[in-house]
Amino acid sequence: MAKNVDPLETMPVSRYAGLTRWGLRLIFAFLMLFLYLPIVFMVAFSFDASQTPSFPIQGPTLHWYDVMINNRQLLSAVGNTISVSLIVAVLATIIGTMAAFVLVRGRLRYPNGVRIAFTMPIMVPGVLIGISLLIFFSRAVHANLSLMTVIAGQLVVTVPFVVLIVASRLQSFDRKLEWAAADLGASPRRTLRHVVLPLIAPAILAGALICITLSIDEFVITWFTVGNQLTLPTYIYTKIKFGVTPEVNAVATVMLVATLLIFGIASVVLGRGRRRLPGRRRRAAIPPA
């Protein structure tokens, strides 16, 4: 602490500085308790012998994991959820990235209006999107509700995320790099492939990951647009209605661990990739020609 003291830090401080510091630490500790208590309970009850998530705790068991593995309905719901989320993520990423290019670089008539239009599906509560889609599918176009309508509904809320995230990255993108590539003889296609896409890849990846996480846990729109099939959230909902959730808690625990692993691996891989690429700061240090 004694080394390299900022001269500003030696200013006389308020009598309450210590108190503030401890108060803020306490608030942070309370936050952690508040955020993690439900997760701890969810995980704990997946190992508890009791049928319903309530006290007293009856003792540890792996029974519900066994039930989970043998529950066909649950497994098909998980399968549906995973395939829907992958399809949604791939489609939303492609559609959204294409639109982001036009939003930033094309000469759209009303770019700000388009921006608000793409913000709306994110901000308008899901229940209203779900209900309007239900009316639209069942009373206007008479479409059969199925996983296809679920995918369509989820695309409405995921594409805007990709558009906005990729557009924001494109906006901060230095176009001189592209002109340099063209100057050196690269065709537009090559420039896109070797210069533009690698530089906006983190944004595209972030968009895709957000799509997957949103889609896997999407309940409201799915609930209104799904037919006979079950997805994991709709299955969980029907179980919660009856108050019996141990094997659902087990699935949620497995999925939480899986997500943590995927994100852990992704961040390690990305971290390495980022270190190899020249950082934005270093690029800015080169004086413009």
Partner 1 sequence: MTAEVVGGVDVAPPTVASRGRTARLRELAPFLPAGLLLGVLFFVPLAVMFIFSLWTTNANLDIVPTWNLDNYAQFFQTGAYVRTLAKTVAMGAAVTTICLLFSLAVAYFLARYISRRWARVALLVIIVPFWSSYLLRVYSWQAILGEKGALNQVLMGLGLISEPSRLFVYNDIGTFIVLTYVYLPFAILVLYASLERFDYTQLTAAQDLGASPSRAFRYILLPQIRPGLITAAIFVFIPILGEFLTPSMVGGASGLLIANLIQTFFKNALVPQGAALGLLIVAFVTVLLIIFRKYLRVEDVYARG
- DSSP-based three-state secondary structure for 14: coil
Return the residues of window 18-77 that contact partner 1 according to CB under 8 A. 21, 23-25, 27-28, 31-32, 34-39, 41-42, 45, 53-55
Do you know the residue count of the chain? 289
2 binds partner 1 (CB under 8 A): no
DSSP-derived secondary structure letter, 285:
H
Return the residues of window 238-277 that contact partner 1 according to CB under 8 A. 240, 245, 248-249, 252, 255-256, 259-260, 263
Identity of the residue, 105 or 283, whose beta carbon is nearer to partner 1 in the bound complex: 105
Q: Of these, 71, 145, 236, 246, which contacts partner 1 (CB under 8 A)?
A: 236
Which secondary structure element, helix H or strand E, spans residue 29, and what is its range?
helix 17-46
Return the residues of window 147-176 that contact partner 1 according to CB under 8 A. 152-153, 155-156, 159-161, 163-165, 167-168, 175
Return the residues of window 175-214 that contact partner 1 according to CB under 8 A. 175, 179, 182-183, 185, 203, 206, 210, 213
In angstroms, what CA-CA distances link 163 with 56, 111, 167, 232? 49, 13, 6, 27
88 binds partner 1 (CB under 8 A): no
CB 121, CB 193: distance < 8 Å? no
Q: Give the CA diameter of the chain.
A: 74
CB 154, CB 90: distance < 8 Å? no
Q: Tokens at residue 284, please? A: 């800015």
1 binds partner 1 (CB under 8 A): no
CB 197, CB 170: distance < 8 Å? no
Identity of the residue, 42 or 177, whose beta carbon is nearer to partner 1 in the bound complex: 42
Identity of the residue, 101 or 229, whose beta carbon is nearer to partner 1 in the bound complex: 101
Identity of the residue, 47 or 118, whose beta carbon is nearer to partner 1 in the bound complex: 118
